[in-house]
Structure 1
Amino acid sequence: MKSDDSSVGNLEEEARKRKERLEQMKRRLNNENNDSTSEDNKLVLPKPIFRSYNPTDEKLKENSLPKPKPESVEKQIEDQLTVANNPQVLDEVDLTSLAPRKVDWDLKRNLQQKLDKLEKRTQRAIAELIRERLRESSVVDLATATQDLEATQNNVDFDED
């Protein structure tokens, strides 16, 4: 029983210490807040500067900026007119640099990826046809089977032209 009483005493003592620390923290925060509010009262607010607003109060009119005067653009206009009146003539014009590439260069560029995919599929299909012919004819000689396929392919290419 004594051990229970001593542990309860320790818990009460720890709780009391915790309360004291909390009270100290509250006092510190209150002191800091009081210091900051007193500093805020001491700070001088910046004076407003009015660019486009025309205040009616005389004290505020002192803070307004004078109205800006428009800049003279006459010199800039004269420069532009002199440039426009004296056109520069190019002596040499390279017509090859002006001519477009080929008419369908952009179409080829856009289709190139699709054509690459189709080429891979075509190669796979050709390989599959070779395998099927080998199975059907049970020809052991791979060279003759590939020559037969190339010959049929050449005939098909020749017919397309």
Structure 2
Amino acid sequence: MDTEENAIEKAAAERREWLKTLKMAKVLLETPDDDTKKHDRNLEDAEETEEDEVPSMKFRNYLPHDKQLQEGKLTPVVLLKFEDPIVAAPLAPEKIEDPFLNIAPKKPNWDLRRDVQKKLDKLEKRTQKALYELAKEQEN
């Protein structure tokens, strides 16, 4: 029991030390250095000069009703006309072909070959077999 209380007190003491170091770091960060003081003075001087000048407003898309503000109206931007080089080039005359020439197949007998191909394969085997038998008979 005594060791548990010591562990808790030790953890609490470590946490207190950690919080103290965080407070010290925060205080150090908030204290201004010489450089930051100069920077702050420059910002204050700039703010004072800006307060004296009235900012000029520029209107691109809006025309105000007030005469003084109408002086700030900018002229609209003029876009250059785009010329498409593809449209400007003359088109090559297209050859007019007879549409009936494209209907015909490239080889006029392709459907006949497709239908007869099985029979031709059988005949080719028989022919090879017959040639083999003839060559065998001539050897004897």
Q: Which has the higher helix share?
A: 1
Higher radius of gyration, 1 or 2: 2
For the criterion TM > 0.5, the same-fold answer is: no
Q: Please report the TM-score for the alignment, with normalisation by the length of structure 1.
A: 0.27
Q: Larger relative contact order (C-alpha < 8 A, sep ≥ 6)?
A: 2
